[in-house]
Structure 1
Amino acid sequence: MGRIALVVSDVDGTLVTSDKRLTDRSRAAVAKLEQAGIGFTLTSSRPPVGMRMFSDPLGITLPLGPFNGSSIVAPSLEVIEQHLIPTAAVETSLALLDRHGIDGWIFTNDNWYIRRDDGRYVAHEKLAIRFDPTQIDDFAPLADKACKIVGASADFALLERCETELQTMLGDSALAIRSQDYYLDVTPPGRNKGTFVQAMAKRLGIPCAAIATLGDMQNDLAMFRVSGLPIAMGNATDDVKRLAAHVTASNDDDGFAAAIDFILAHNDKG
């Protein structure tokens, strides 16, 4: 394995702690990457507005990959590349979520829509992305504008079953995958965190083998499969850890900073 030229990190469960804090050690770790001439950026299931609270203080100058990498935006949040979920896939997804009693949301490029404001995870998401949703009665007018659909539920086993069921129904028309135990995401077809890593490699003129990726959930597996050095957090699911080349500490134990130290040591070995 050659030297690492770029690090691409997930946000929730990876870069930040469980209470969504960016620790001093994590800030210092990103500064170390800059000093070593290694690029750094983020990809996340979050909408663009939910990434800027971390990209700005970290001084990120490279494009970001919101919506599980299905969009690419500049640090200013100007859209570089955007893809939408096909209307039929939106309708299929919302119907399945309704059938199972799962709270459904729609994210467009610049807004978040809900149908009820008492959903268990609405307050949680508001705190996480520091953005308030718009409550509407009918999602139908948004069917051709959806960047991401989220099914939110405290029944983790149900979401896991629905992930498989919905992906089977969608086929290759959209991607259904969990970004958290409590979130089932639906995003545009043919785009994921792996395609974002590949896009960054092309933009920077480097091979994917020169990219390290950090993550903790199923939606991070796509970037693990195409990167040279996939690193799983200590809090990651077992299937994520199995695909990683290295497992660091948990996100609440400064695992991100420890992973950056591991990458720098790897480069020092030549």
Structure 2
Amino acid sequence: MSRIRLVISDVDGTLVTSDKRLTDAARAAVTKLQDAGIGFTLTSSRPPVGMRLFSDALGIILPMGPFNGSSIVDPSLAVIEQHLIPADAVAKSIALLDRYGIDIWIFTNDNWYIRRDDGKYVPHEQRTIQFDPTQIDDFAPLIGKACKIVGASPDFALLERCETELQAALGDSALAVRSQDYYLDVTPPGQSKGTFVQAMSKRLEIPADAIATLGDMQNDLPMFKVSGLPIAMGNATADVKKLAKHVTRTNEQDGFAAAIDFILARNAGG
């Protein structure tokens, strides 16, 4: 049993509460990790700008993995590594999401674009990432610049069906996976939260067995598969819990802080 030397956490549904609040217990837990000499960083479906408030609040000094780990940025948001969705995959994604009447957003490294401002989840995303979208009539100029596409819908079952169909249509050209029940993300091929874990393992010369990962949704599964100690939140989906080695409390019950206590106790006992 390897001693954990690095913790990589998801943000929404994991680090923060449902109302996107970073609790005192979560802050204290990260301090405990730092005091124990254990590294800590984040990977999320969020764009870089949506992660900056946590890197500042938690004193993160390691690279972070926005866009489901398909980009790597330093705590100041300077790009270390970036991948784009191939133009053909962007066009296919837009066409399929349009066919199902799903709201479409496109994120570049430093901006968020929508075609209308009345989408149900636009205000929610504005509050979440603390950044305003740019409204445009046509996505064509962004075809070669997309870091992430989001299909947003209150019809969770529709998004689940669309996830399967879109991934089949995209093949190996991009990854389609839900980051929330109401968000379907399309990100660059061959990149995921799992590749971010592997990149951090190589960068810090820490074996994957010594890395703990925390998450709650399907987009967290790739990092669970490559880390030594995958921990699922109590609010996680069943398939995420199935792949975890430990299940903590929910994000409304300071499950993140409880998971950190579990890791520290495990290290002490090992």
Task: State the TM-score, normalized to the length of structure 1.
Answer: 1.00
Partner of 1:68: 68
Structure 1 unaligned spans of 5+? none
Cα distance, 1:214 vs structure 2: 0.1
Q: In the aligned structure 1, how far is the partner of 2:57 from the partner of 2:126?
A: 20
Runs of 4+ in 1 over 2 A off after TM superposition: none
Determine helix, strand or coil for the equivalent of 1:13. coil
SS in 2 for 1:230: strand
Please state whether the residue corresponding to 1:149 is helix, strand or coil. strand
SS of the aligned residue for 1:80 comes to: strand
3-state SS, counterpart of residue 230 of structure 2:
strand
What is residue 189 of structure 2 aligned with on the other side? 189
Structure 1 CA distance, aligned partners of 2:2 and 2:73? 28
Q: Name the counterpart of 2:20.
A: 20
- Letter of the structure 1 residue corresponding to residue 6 of structure 2: L
**1:206 Cα offset (Å):** 1.0
Determine the structure 1 residue equivalent to 2:174: 174
2-structure distance, mates of 1:233, 1:104: 28
- The separation in 2 between residues aligned to 1:159 and 1:82, in whole angstroms, is 27
The CA distance in 2 between the partners of 1:19 and 1:138, in whole Å, is 32
Q: Give the aligned partner of residue 228 of structure 1.
A: 228
Structure 2 unaligned blocks of 5 or more: none
* Deviation digits for residues 9-44 of structure 1 (CA, Å, limit 9, x no counterpart): 000000000000000000000000000000000000
Tell me the secondary structure at the aligned position of residue 239 of structure 1: helix
Alignment partners' CA distance in 2, 1:236 and 1:55: 24
Shift in Å, 1:184: 0.1
Deviation readout 1:76-130 (Å, 9 max, x if unpaired): 0000000000000000000000000000000000000000100000000000000
- Number of positions where the alignment pairs a residue of Structure 1 with one of Structure 2: 270
What is the alpha-carbon distance in structure 2 between the residues aligned to residue 79 and residue 109 of structure 1?
9
Q: Secondary structure at the match of 1:7?
A: strand
Q: Which residue number corresponds to residue 164 of structure 1?
A: 164
Paired with 1:33 and 1:107, the residues of 2 have a C-alpha distance of 32
- 2-side partners of 1:71 and 1:181: how far apart? 23
Tell me which amino acid in the other structure corresponds to 1:88.
D
